[in-house]
Chain A
Amino acid sequence: MRSDIAVDPAEPAGSAEPSERPGTAPSSGPPAEPEPGPAAVSRRRARARRAWGRGGLVLLLVVLSVPFVFPTWWMATSSLKPMSEILRAVPTIWPQDPSLAAYQDVFALQPFAQQYWNSLYIAAVVTAGTMLVSAMAGYAFARIRFPGANALFLLVLAGLLVPSEVTIVPLFRIVNTLGLIDTHWPLVVIPILGAPSVLATFIMRQFFLGLPGELEDAGRVDGLGRWGIFWHIAFPLSRSALAAVAIFTFLKSWNLYLEPVVYLSTKESFTLPQALTQYVDAYGGPMWNVQLAATTLTVLPVLAVFLVAQKQFVQGLAQTGIKG
């Protein structure tokens, strides 16, 4: 991914001199004819100092990047190493003798493609469902005045405060009573309707709160009812907030660990985070290189999606109620 594909307001648009915005530094104004005099000298000096300062900041960013990037780099490169090299205490930056054998094992040892599909479709359904459900609820809580709206909103917000460890046993009993153990139902329905979707509802509500009322009035004049206003006006306008919700939700579902471990029991129905822990030898010892290869395969697509979608993501968040 080239960094310039994402048209980012924070990115210098290819100009030789970074175009500064007024807030951060004195604007140099139009490139007027050189104007000799002490002012120009001091300005030039200030600019030089600023260039050094900016260089320092970039250096700082580079240093700060190391603890963020190195573990992922180590993970990806270690999947090309034999076990003995992985376990070496001082990590090697590049495999001495790279091999793709671990990647073959990933697919040979488990129905990895099936598990990949499980994770993918569950995450997709949960994301789509959450977008719809949270947009509807967020819209109603924000724009429709109906009795008990506040009480109901507080009731829903309670979900934000319940760690999943707290309710996992009763939820398991409920799911078991319904005979849905080892199916994907609990992994789809509970996140869409239960605690995990609360943050999404909250974000959507904040977005719709900021929607100008005139747009709705215009819709009403055009003869649209509530549903029509929601479907044809509010929902399409909330694209950026929905993007943020989508990314949050997808990541959460994609990385869900405790719930699949509890609800699923056959390999064919496993999701990825759970499958990763299954690459062990006959004695339960982890096969590090295969685990790391499988992990790399699960991380890369999400990373790629983020790279492509990060502009929408950042803008989405900027336009939701979470902004300043």
Chain B
Amino acid sequence: MSTVAARRSSVAARRDWAVGYTMVAPVVLGAVVFVVVPLVMVAWYSLHEWNVLAGTFTFVGGENYARMAADPGLRDALLASLWFSIGLVVLNISLALVLAVLLDQRLPGTTTFRTFFFSPVIVSLVAWTIVWSFLLQPEGGINGFLAQVGVAGPNWLRGEATAMIALIVVQVFKNVGLNMILFLAALQGVPEELHEAARLDGAGAWRRFRSITLPLISPTILLVSIITVVGSLEVFAQIDVLTGGGPGSSTTVLVYYLFQQAFRFNEFGYASAISVLLFVIVLALTLLQWQSRRRWVFHEV
């Protein structure tokens, strides 16, 4: 009797497995064909010197990797990426939080403001960047405004530090709306009773935010920061339009450097080696964030 039941349940389980495999088959197949195979191909290319124009494809072993280690341009690009990513992630997440908290106050016109903050997300990236390139000119809108309040604005895109700041800010305004919405959703999921209870205990607004809200939305912060960090490493069109990687090489971030090597200098082998590095960096950062979640994320996603 019991063996029959067990067999029946194992048959059911098998059938369940089959359904499971069928349901995940499209994405797993997609991941293999469109992610894993291309990655393996890129790793394979990275062991070659491949000049597209000349049509040469010769095996060079680890030469491209040795070249990476000695390439000052790559070092600069890594540093630029580091600054850009730190600046972007910090500014993006804090602004997104501030906006979400403001929108969570039931102020008049909240829906309108929410739409305003979100609208750049759906504007084409290139158009958005071009508009800002006008505003950031030495005699453009930003400096015109600064002059009104008696400040002589810099030539934003021509100074090394200001160019980086401008890039970060333009990018934050473009995408912070998405993170804001994610945070807003999280904030609205925080039970009001907890706030009420804490308030009765005499906790101030800041205290309540730190001790109740932040821990409760920490899983969202984790997800948002993972997406934002990965996204910050992929910035490309903005740099192409605004600075072209300059002045000097101050805004040549890793992806831009990769793009230059591959499509401008036709060094596909070397570019593939940089791609591998980029993948490893993204993987490492994500694992790091994921591992660290136990320390600061209140409960698991």
Contact = CB atoms under 8 A, between A and B. Distances in A.
Chain A–chain B contact at Cβ < 8 A: yes
A159 B140 contact: no
Contact of B16 (A21, A144, A201, A323): A144
Given A162-B35, A162-B39, A257 B122 contact: no
Which interface residue of B17, B30, B199 has the most chain A CB atoms within 10 A? Answer: B30
A50 to B, nearest CB: 11
Given A72-B119, A170-B41, A324-B217, A163 B286 contact: no
Which interface residue of B34, B118, B234 has the most chain A CB atoms within 10 A? Answer: B34
Interface string B190-202: 1010111001000
Contacts of A160: 230, 286
B84 interface: no
Contacts of B128: 71
Interface in A186-221: 190, 192-195, 197-199, 201, 206
B275 A140 contact: no
B55 interface: no
A91 interface: yes
Nearest to A24: B105
A310 B29 CA distance: 33
A67 interface: yes
A193 B255 CA distance: 24
A155 B23 contact: no
Interface residues of B, number: 105
B297 to A, nearest CB: 10
B19 A140 contact: yes
A322 B115 contact: no
A47 interface: no
Contacts of B283: 158, 161
Interface in A279-324: 291-292, 295, 298-299, 302-303, 306-307, 310, 313-315, 317-318, 320-324
A68 B26 contact: no
Interface in B226-245: 227, 230, 233-234, 236-237
Which interface residue of A4, A160, A167 has the most chain B CB atoms within 10 A? Answer: A167
B23 A324 contact: no
B86 interface: no
Interface stretch (A34-42, A58-66, A99-107): A58-66
A75 B17 CA distance: 53
A144 B173 CA distance: 41
B35 A89 contact: no
Contacts of B234: 163-165
Contacts of B119: 68-69, 72, 303, 306
A18 B23 contact: no
B262 A169 contact: yes
A279 to B, nearest CB: 12
B73 to A, nearest CB: 17
A297 B16 CA distance: 48
A323 B30 contact: no
A163 B278 contact: yes
Interface string B214-226: 0011111001000
B120 interface: yes
B127 A324 contact: no
A254 B137 CA distance: 29
B109 A166 contact: no
A65 B117 contact: yes
B167 interface: no
Interface residues of A, number: 108
A80 B32 CA distance: 48
Contacts of B237: 257
Contacts of B218: 324
B279 A251 contact: no
Nearest to B17: A146
Contacts of A163: 230, 233-234, 255, 278-279, 282
A55 B168 CA distance: 30
Contact of B115 (A75, A139, A310, A318): A310
B115 A155 contact: no
Contact of B181 (A24, A230, A298, A317): A317
Nearest to B277: A166
B122 A18 contact: no
A155 B28 contact: yes
B111 A9 contact: no
Contacts of A307: 115
B199 A23 contact: yes
A65 B186 contact: no
A133 interface: yes
Nearest to B184: A314
A265 interface: no
B152 interface: no
Interface of A: 1, 3-4, 6, 8-12, 18-24, 26, 54, 57-58, 60-61, 64-65, 67-72, 74-75, 89-91, 133-134, 136-137, 139-141, 144-147, 149, 152, 155-156, 158-167, 169-171, 173-174, 190, 192-195, 197-199, 201, 206, 225-227, 230, 251, 254-255, 257-258, 272-273, 276-277, 291-292, 295, 298-299, 302-303, 306-307, 310, 313-315, 317-318, 320-324
5 contacts: A61-B113, A71-B120, A72-B119, A141-B24, A322-B219
Interface of B: 15-17, 19-21, 23-24, 26-39, 41-42, 45, 99, 102-128, 131-132, 134-135, 137, 139-141, 144, 173, 177, 181-182, 184-190, 192, 194-196, 199, 208, 216-220, 223, 227, 230, 233-234, 236-237, 255, 258-259, 262, 268, 272, 275, 278-279, 282-283, 286, 298, 301
- Chain A to chain B: the 6 pairs with minimum beta-carbon distance, closest first: A193-B30, A194-B34, A23-B195, A140-B23, A170-B41, A167-B38
